[in-house]
Amino acid sequence: MAPEPPRPARELRRDALWELVGTIRRSLAQRGEILPAVWVEETVESIARGTGLGWFTGPTAQPTSLALLWAREGTGYGHLHSAGAGDPVAELSALATELLHHLPATVHRLDVGATGVTPEQEVAVGRRWSELPGTTVILRHSMVRDLSMDDVPPEPAVPEGVALVTVRKVPFDELCALDWRSYRGTPDETLLSESPAGNREMLENAFAGLFGTILDDASPAARTPDGTVVGFAVTCQEAIGVGILLDVAVAPEWRRKGLGRALLLRMLRALLALGYRRAHLWVTEGNAPARALYDRLGFRPDASAAIYRWSRPAPAGAEPPQRQSER
Ligand SMILES: CC(C)(COP(=O)(O)OP(=O)(O)OC[C@H]1O[C@@H](n2cnc3c(N)ncnc32)[C@H](O)[C@@H]1OP(=O)(O)O)[C@@H](O)C(=O)NCCC(=O)NCCS
């Protein structure tokens, strides 16, 4: 039997919504994904005010799944969560099409994540998503490396002519320009931000501690003698004893010279010196250079998460796929 059509989340009681959004946050944290500390409150408030968008399935007192939608800079971000009851695959699939249906016309791409489903259910949701026109599934892997005094990472061998300093010593504009340039042509170029301004905002948020306190010693930048920044890594505290690599970038003309390796060895040694037990990061399946680098440094995959992407098909103005009930 087809599930009931999703209803707007503002119809939910605030405590039920709070509970569900809190569960999403916990599920994401358990998987090692980081969110701003105020995420639950802001999400619930925005839906209650009508500035945030969400839909749910199941009874109002005990919703069985929830979808959230944000849009900025022409890109939409969505999240699907199953509370476990009901038929998670059918409900999340219905919520996914609901998100597409409500996308503003200015949005040309939507990235959606999911929680509360088993790996098998997530594959089934992905399969249904892939049946819609204009969709792809991007796989991201969480990788970890344990740190201990029995296994101290070697000192970084920095390429000749380059010196490592803490990233805060580097002019912020230069950092932003290098970051933007470094990701062009990689599978991650559209994942984090789609414009230099959006990229800058993301770095500003990171340095403001939105995702956790920045660990300066574990966040090195590489400079040439004339002061040009050619690479950097940014790390923050994810949890007690766990540091997460938020970003690593090496200028294209400086690649395959051991600089990425040197930046990450500095990061690992600094984390160990600061008393951290574990280094963590996320990497996209198709980012072969980054995966090879992490693999060589002893990082091992410990979890995966799919991003369901929809891109507005050319020609511009084409509409998102219709909901099941409208076909
Ligand atoms: C990933 C990145 C930081 C690597 O920097 P780098 O300075 O070129 O890496 P290194 O020269 O230190 O490489 C160290 C090892 O990583 C692996 N590696 C790096 N680039 C590789 C590539 N293109 N293909 C295969 N292996 C690669 C190799 O094992 C290499 O050792 P080797 O050269 O002795 O074979 C760089 O490609 C980059 O900035 N990419 C864009 C930004 C990005 O994707 N960041 C990661 C986001 S998760």
CA distances in angstroms from 251 to 160, 198, 199, 205, 259, listed in the order given: 15, 19, 16, 22, 10
Q: Which of 48-57, 138-147, 221-230 has the lowest mean pLDDT?
A: 48-57
Which CATH number goes with the domain that contains 59? Answer: 3.40.630
* Total tally of structural domains belonging to the chain: 2
Q: pTM of the entire structure?
A: 0.88
- Within a domain: residue 295? no
Does 204 lie in the same domain as 137? no
Those residues whose C-beta lies under 8 Å from the C-beta of residue 163, and which sit 6 or more positions away, are 222, 223, 225
Answer whether the bond into residue 313 is a cis peptide, omega within 30°.
no
- Within a domain: residue 286? no
Which CATH number goes with the domain that contains 171? Answer: 3.40.630.30
Cα separation, 198 vs 178, whole angstroms? 14
DSSP symbols for 229-245: EEEEEEEEEEETTEEEE
CB–CB of 140/304 below 8 Å?
yes
pLDDT at 25: 94
User: Which atom of ligand 1 is closest in space to residue 259's alpha carbon?
Assistant: 7
| Cα–ligand 1 centroid distance for 210 (angstroms) | 27
Does 110 lie in the same domain as 87? yes
Does 160 lie in the same domain as 129? no
Does 243 lie in the same domain as 159? yes
Cα separation, 310 vs 319, whole angstroms? 11
Is 86 a residue whose pLDDT tops 50? yes
CB–CB of 310/135 below 8 Å?
yes
User: Which atom of ligand 1 is closest in space to residue 261's alpha carbon?
Assistant: 12
Does 130 lie in the same domain as 43? yes
Task: Name residues contacting ligand 1 (CB within 6 A).
Answer: 182-183, 186, 188, 248-250, 255-261, 283, 287-290, 292-293, 296
- Ligand 1 atom 12, closest CA: 258
Name the residue range of residue 16's domain: 7-141+307-326
Does 155 lie in the same domain as 120? no
| Cα–ligand 1 centroid distance for 257 (angstroms) | 9
| Other CB atoms within 10 Å distance of the CB of residue 150 | 5
Strands 229-239 and 53-57, sheet pairing: unpaired
Phi then psi for 12, rounded to 5 degrees? -75, 150
Six-digit token string for 98: 């609901």
| Cα–ligand 1 centroid distance for 124 (angstroms) | 33
| Cα–ligand 1 centroid distance for 259 (angstroms) | 8
Cα separation, 202 vs 172, whole angstroms? 12
| Cα–ligand 1 centroid distance for 144 (angstroms) | 17
Those residues whose C-beta lies under 8 Å from the C-beta of residue 324, and which sit 6 or more positions away, are 2, 94, 97
**Closest Cα partner for 189 from 105, 249, 134, 245?**
249
Does 205 lie in the same domain as 240? yes
Is 171 a residue whose pLDDT tops 90? yes
Is 327 a residue whose pLDDT tops 50? no
Cα separation, 96 vs 135, whole angstroms? 11
- Within a domain: residue 217? yes
| Cα–ligand 1 centroid distance for 185 (angstroms) | 14
- Ligand 1 atom 16, closest CA: 293
Examine the fold and report which residue of 276, 299, 318 is the final residue of a domain before the chain moves on.
Answer: 276
pLDDT at 321: 65
- Within a domain: residue 218? yes
pLDDT tens for 211-269 read 999 999 999 999 999 999 999 999 999 999 999 999 999 999 999 999 999 999 999 99
| Cα–ligand 1 centroid distance for 290 (angstroms) | 5
Cα separation, 45 vs 14, whole angstroms? 9
Phi then psi for 270, rounded to 5 degrees? -65, -40
pLDDT tens for 107-139 read 999 999 999 999 889 889 989 988 888 899 999
Beta bridge partners of 82: 65
Q: Candidates 144, 229, 235, 255: which one to mutate for ligand 1, based on the most atoms within 8 Å of Cβ?
A: 255
- Ligand 1 atom 4, closest CA: 260
Is 187 a residue whose pLDDT tops 90? no
